[in-house]
Chain A
């Protein structure tokens, strides 16, 4: 089992001149500490227009800052929205390659398609098309990274032959992932040989079923890249405290705030009837996971509470077949920065060593790639 951190960058109102600056600086400090403590990855989302919930609209720049301020931690660019109105695929490939170069081969590349009308509508994207454009992107981007000359005639975009530069530092290319929220997306990931970036916070039982299907299907996959990235990541809130009750209370406040903020956005399904968005997506799942247990009970995958409780939650994920948990450390600045850092330190001291032996398992993310670093 490996551990990472996961940044949404939520910014509470009122927005003063320093508010966003302070939140970004807090996140960078958290990433630096995570690196020192031995966390394996730092992921940053791509979201647009999601007021208060996520101000992380240029994750490649934020991740570059993390890479420049850290030594070991890998940088997870995810998810990159694979929709032409938001990201030209050539630019996505170029930006990712630069990030891989400047980080010394530490890039993880996550892909997805956005779940909100807030974002898709803001860019004038057609929700009917996003699954198709995502599929096209994940097939061409590895080719852009590995072929000296590249041309393409497709549905989402076309281009005459050019040399797309630079090439990533990792050879043949960085590990690729898919955000898995909608039902069946884990099979899409498996069929293409992509890592599963699970985003259903706290949902162990549901995740176990998805992982089982994923592991089975990926054995016969037709990889879109140069190698198969058979890895399963999940996401959970982290608040670890010596006092179990305080840990739970603070963690639940964080989860509740996250859900409340996320529900203020306009899900694609609520606005635009389409078979392309059958699942309510991440936001609905989050709410379900945090409200589906009896009052006072902590969902079995939520990593909140004292070190003993948090370790048990990690074991639950491990038994479900998860390879890595990425932790959301704060939401809306509900937890003071010093407490966030203390939680990270306590987790690293008391919980992380319990899972150190499992680190010797083969095939960490990108293991199949030849890494120069």
Chain B
């Protein structure tokens, strides 16, 4: 059996969303700009993941910033940092903390998909020669990174991993930390690939103590329609991988 995580997520779950319902309608976000910076992850590869997940070989760090120009709650920008891993045999990204610059979008993302996001200043600037992202919380820069040397590719070349959002729900009468699988649909309009560069990363602020980006893999910048889906699966983080996935009843 491959290695599994050793982390107890319950201690950091208290600040995550408490979902009273897992019945969520899809949400289409048109014309978003999406930046992904992908690095290999240094440090103890089991320490950041719960027992339900395997570290991928090698473990990775995924930084994602999404700028939505308009939506039912207006424009917003969302930044997340995830740990690339495996739920059983499936590639996934564990998300334990993120940031959004819109109060109403933050509320909606927390309540409907369990995104463990808080309000912060999230800046995203996409130009022809580069794309950069900066997140500031409590007057401190907690993330600063960019894509450099972009070159055109097609959307067919891009593959994003589904997220596992750390949240809480009442499961069989008990409040329990869970991982909600969010696997958006993407319709690509433009795509570029470049090299990722990370200038600043405060791993504690992202709920990833000890995480470090050690080796750059790739960066991509896409213009894309994103549909956040209905919830279909959750994972019990403290169960062993083959017993951890629960399919939600059809709503």
Contact = CB atoms under 8 A, between A and B. Distances in A.
A264 B54 contact: yes
Contact of B89 (A50, A260, A274): A260
Given A264-B56, A264-B57, A265-B56, A275 B154 contact: yes
Contact of A50 (B54, B57, B159, B217): B57
A260 B58 CA distance: 15
Nearest to A50: B57
Nearest to B84: A266
A319 to B, nearest CB: 31
Chain B binding site: helix, strand, loop or mixed by DSSP?
strand
A51 B158 CA distance: 26
Contact of B56 (A52, A266, A275): A266
B147 to A, nearest CB: 12
Contacts of B158: 273
B91 interface: yes
Nearest to A52: B2
Contacts of B218: 271-273
A59 B58 CA distance: 22
Contacts of A12: 1
A12 B2 CA distance: 8
A255 to B, nearest CB: 12
Given A117-B217, A272-B38, A274-B157, 12 more contacts: A51-B2, A260-B89, A263-B89, A264-B57, A270-B91, A271-B38, A273-B158, A273-B191, A273-B193, A275-B154, A275-B157, A287-B89
Instruction: Enumerate the 10 nearest inter-chain pairs by beta-carbon distance, A residue then B residue, closest first.
Output: A263-B89, A273-B157, A272-B218, A273-B158, A264-B2, A273-B193, A265-B57, A271-B217, A260-B89, A264-B57
B207 interface: no
B57 A49 contact: yes
Contacts of A278: 156-157
Interface string A238-277: 0000000000000000000001110111100111111100
Given A13-B1, A121-B40, A264-B2, A270 B161 contact: yes
Contacts of B156: 275, 278
Contacts of B84: 266
B215 interface: yes
B107 to A, nearest CB: 32
Interface residues of A, number: 26
Interface residues of B, number: 29
A57 interface: no
Interface of A: 12-13, 49-52, 117-118, 121-122, 259-261, 263-266, 269-275, 278, 287
B3 interface: yes
Q: In this complex, which of A49, A266, A275, A287 has the most chain B Cβ atoms within 10 angstroms of its Cβ?
A: A266
Nearest to A291: B89
Contacts of A51: 2-3, 57
A278 B157 CA distance: 7
Interface in B206-247: 215, 217-218, 220
Contacts, number: 71
A118 B38 CA distance: 14
A271 B3 CA distance: 20
Contacts of B57: 49-51, 118, 264-266
A263 B60 contact: no
A122 B57 CA distance: 11
B159 A273 contact: yes
B89 A118 contact: no
A263 to B, nearest CB: 4
Interface in B86-130: 86, 88-91
A266 B39 CA distance: 12
Nearest to B59: A266
B153 interface: yes
Contacts of A50: 57
Q: Which of A117, A122, A264, A278 has the most CB of B within 10 A?
A: A264
A259 B2 CA distance: 12
A269 B2 contact: no
Contact of A266 (B58, B89, B153, B220): B58
Contact of B90 (A49, A52, A121, A263): A263
Contact of B3 (A13, A121, A122, A263): A13
Nearest to B89: A263
Nearest to A274: B157
Given A51-B2, A274-B193, A266 B60 contact: yes
A121 B218 CA distance: 11
A2 B109 CA distance: 58
A126 to B, nearest CB: 11
A275 B38 CA distance: 18
